[in-house]
Structure formats: C-alpha cells, structure tokens
Chain A
Amino acid sequence: MLRSQFWKKFFEETGEIARFTGRLFSQWFKPPYEITEFLRQCFIIGYKSLPLVMLTTFIMGLVLTMQIRPFLIDYGVESQLPAMVGIAIVREIGPVITALIFAGKIGSSIGAELGSMKVTEQIDAMEVSGTNPFKYLVVTRVLAATFMLPLLVILGDAVALYGTYLGVNMSGVTSFDLFWTKVFRNLSFSDVLPAFVKSFFFGFAVGIVGCYKGYYSKKGTEGVGQSANSAVVLSSVLIFIIDLIAVQVTGVLGLN
C-alpha cells in the first residue's frame, strides 16, 4: 500500500515537473524578454557564487593531490600526478563538485525565495501588476543557472588545478611551467567538451528544480523550508543521474 502510494506520488511529481519544464520552453522564446531581470539573476547566481566555488574547488584540488600522491609513489609514477589529477578534475570532479555546491547554494536560495514569494502573495501581486510571473521569475532564473554554471565550472577547474599545483609542490619541486605542460599535454578536446556540455544540463536541472519547488511551495513557513530542502536534494540526485547519462552518451559518441 505504502509502496504504491510512493510510486503514485513519484510519477505524479515527475509529470508535474515535465509539465513545468514544457511551460518553460513554451515561454522561453516568447517576448517580452526580461533582459534586465536575467542579467540581475546572472549577477546573483553566477558572480555571487564565485567565492564559494573558488574556495571549495581550491581545497578539493589540494586535498585530492595530497591523497593520491602516496599511491603514485608506491607505483613509482609520481611524475604523473599533475596529469592524473588534472584529468580527474576536468572530466569529472570539477563539474560534479561545482554543480553540487551550486545546487546547495542556488537551488536552496531559488526554492526558498520563490516559496516565500508564493506564501506572501508576491507572485499574485506580480500578476496583478501586469507581469507574467512565470517569465519574470522562472525563465530568468533557469536561464541564468543554465549559463552561469558552465562558467563557474571553468573557473572552478582552473582554481582546483592551481590547488593541485600547490599540492604537488608541498612535497617536491615542480616548476609552474612544467606542471601546466604536464596537465595540458594529457588533456584532449574529448576530455573538456563533454564536461563543459554536461555542466549546462547540471545548471538547468538546478534552476528548474529550484523554481518548481519554490513556485509550488505549500503555504506557511514550513512549506518554504521544505521547498528549499527538497530543491537541494532533488537537484543533487539529478546531477548524478545526468552525469551517469553523460558518461554513457560520451561513450557511445566515442569521446571516452
């Protein structure tokens, strides 16, 4: 009984999100274009996430290097450390970790903001003021999340690699030029492109889930909290599912 209720709820919610996404695409290209609000959201979603992304990816690069080094020493291939960590960061860890941090910061903030606007009738007030709230609030945020995350991933990768460089030099000496030469010599177009492309999907997932959860928030402060929380949980799960699909697709396309 409980299991059937779970699946019923699961499929209902999946259907609702699909419908919400369909509504988004139907409004995406329709004028009026909320350019000012889109740029404001790019600033909030992209620029304001930069310090957190920089800090966490820097630590990630440093720690990853320190953790991997002993194993490479055991196998006598310590010189491959920059190449190995570089590939791991660019192909997988950089996009996924940045997306998860992004989901935690932006997914929750969109869910809570729209949820609170819903509960306090601000969305209704917007509609009464001659504004299409879906376009003004949802389309701009989803677009901003979709386009800002790939930029954050690129910057995050660069900072993580700088962390790796410092990690490499903690127990040895590798020149700055040599480090970057080793990283880039082992990186190819097929490493960078799929990672870059999938980060657009990660950003879209975080944006759409945050907006959906906030837009249909239940009444009351508890509803707002639940919206923020479930936005983070669902978008984090979606990031892993998209990542799994991306690996399969790149394999089929011969980019692995």
Chain B
Amino acid sequence: MHTTENKERPAQNAEQGKAVMAVRNLYKSFGSHKVLIDFSVSLHSGENVVVLGKSGSGKSVLIKCIIGLLKPDSGAIEVLGESIPDLNDEALDAIRMKIGFLFQSNALYDSMTVRENLEFPLRRHSITLMHEDVDQLVKDALEDVKLAHTIDMMPAELSGGMRKRIALARTLILKPAIILYDEPTTGLDPITSREIIDLIKEVQQKYHAASLIISHDMNCVRMVADRVVMLIDGRNYREGTYAELIQSEDPAIKAFFE
C-alpha cells in the first residue's frame, strides 16, 4: 500500500554523494544532564537522513547545535566545509543562508502576514533584491507548498497543516543546500502528516537538497529516510536503512519499530 516507501533505497547510493555536513564526537550537557555523548552523524548531498529517538533524547539539541543556536561542549560540526562552532556572527549568517530550518512549532511570526513571513529571511540576510524579485520568490515558494491563496493572511487564520507548509515555504525561499527538519509531522493528523511527508519528498526532488530530519514518527521515517540514525541515551546507537533496522533483534531498536 505504501508505494512511496524508501525501503528499497540503498544507503550506499547516498553515501556516494559529497558530504555536506559532518558531526563528529559531539558532547552537549545542560548542567549535570548529559544530552549528547560522543554523537556523530554525516549527511551527503541529495540524501535524506532521519535521526530517530524518543522525546527528550536530544534530537532538537543536536539540530540546534548544527544551525549554531546552541554551542556544543566539545566535538566538531562541519557544514559545507565550515566549522560551525568557530564561526563569528557574520560568517554564521552567511552559512545559515544555505541551510533551511523547519522548526517544530513552525515559528511563524504572529504579527506578520504570510507574505511578510516569507520576505523576512530575504530582507534580513543582506541580499540585494529588487521588489519584484522578492515578490516572485515569495509567490514561487507558496506555489511549491500549494498555498498561494494565503499570501495576505495572518498565521492565526491558518490551520496547523497550512502553517507547517507556510513554514516549509519560508525554509525553501533561500533555496538551501541543506534542510533541517525538527519533528515535521509532530502534532498533525495522519492525513496532514502524509501531505507534509509528500511535500518533503517533492521538495527533495525539486531542490536536490540534503535533508536531516529529526523525528519519532515511524511513518515519516519509513517514507522519507535513505538512512536512519538511532539516537539513544545521547549516542549514535545504530545506523542503517529502514529495512535493515526493522529486522534488528536489539530490544532498544525493536521498541521503535513495533
């Protein structure tokens, strides 16, 4: 029934692409609570990697370290050849233009219309664009998520699924090389969830971006992942394709797939 499953995608195909992101031996603690312990993961161009872990396992902390919102205690994070923890604000701003981030809560600006929300990253990233170009980019991004008619609406007027799609449009507007998804289907009904998953795949095909998806939604993992990284107890517990992991006899892994 699930015609779009990625079971058959061999992980090694993705591995052949150029590495666009590498996290090595990452440690992050909050006080005495160790969240990430010697965690490593890599992402190659055109690849979809899902980091799978239960709630509170440090998935969002990982993604925020990658985008530079949190500083790791130690370890290396290289994105498109730049070491994220070592960048100054200006360099970080430049690299962030190449990374899209879909927040778990969508993070749409309540006081702005959909148009203004989408224009915001274009205007703030010191990009010199004509008014008509900005307008066209906004319309194109909204067309991609099939919500062109919402351009002058406020986020409060949209449903949860629509808000997620608008947030995705804002993520895509700078045509990023890497897209980070923080729990893209959390809190959505199964139908909307499926729509978002299809949209993620469409976006992947259209922009050929590498995607790191943080999730604990097994449907999302099955349908999107080229490779799955199991984040358990702050560590990279196991890595493999969905097909490989579902056959595992390890109770810690089986708990996710049952």
Contacts and interface: CB of A to CB of B under 8 A. Distances in A.
Interface residues on B, range: 20 to 34
A243 to B, nearest CB: 33
A101 B45 CA distance: 56
Given A124-B64, A124-B69, A131 B124 contact: yes
Interface string A117-157: 10111101111111110000000000000000000000000
A236 interface: no
B125 A130 contact: yes
B256 interface: no
Contact of B97 (A121, A124, A127, A130): A130
Main secondary structure of the interface of A (DSSP, over half): helix
A128 B110 contact: no
A121 B103 contact: yes
B5 interface: no
A127 B124 CA distance: 10
A98 interface: no
Contact of A130 (B96, B103, B105, B110): B96
Nearest to B101: A128
A122 B124 CA distance: 15
Contacts of A121: 103-105, 107
A127 B69 contact: yes
A141 to B, nearest CB: 13
A129 B124 CA distance: 6
A116 interface: yes
B118 to A, nearest CB: 11
Interface in B90-141: 93, 96-97, 99, 101, 103-111, 120-121, 124-126
Interface of B: 64, 67, 69, 89, 93, 96-97, 99, 101, 103-111, 120-121, 124-126
A129 B121 CA distance: 5
Interface residues of A, number: 16
Which 5 interchain pairs have the tightest Cβ spacing? A125-B107, A130-B125, A129-B121, A121-B107, A130-B124
B221 to A, nearest CB: 23
A48 B1 CA distance: 57
B126 A130 contact: yes
B71 to A, nearest CB: 13
Residue of A113, A129, A132 with highest tally of chain B CB at under 10 A: A129
Contacts of B126: 130
A84 to B, nearest CB: 45
B97 to A, nearest CB: 7
Nearest to A127: B69
A125 B100 CA distance: 10
Contacts of B125: 129-130
Given A116-B110, A121-B104, A124-B103, A129 B64 contact: no
B184 to A, nearest CB: 14
A38 B231 CA distance: 44
A126 B109 CA distance: 9
Contacts of B105: 119-121
A111 to B, nearest CB: 15
Contact of B93 (A122, A124, A125, A130): A130
Most buried by A among B96, B111, B124: B124
Contacts of A126: 109, 120, 124
Given A121-B103, A121-B104, A128 B109 contact: no
B69 A128 contact: yes
Contacts of A129: 96, 120-121, 124-125
Contacts of B109: 117, 122, 125-126
A124 B97 CA distance: 15
A113 B125 CA distance: 24
Contacts of B93: 130
A122 B107 contact: yes
Contacts of A117: 109-110
Contacts of B121: 129-130
A179 B23 CA distance: 76
Contacts of B124: 126, 129-131
B44 to A, nearest CB: 23
Given A116-B110, A121-B104, A122-B109, A128 B67 contact: yes
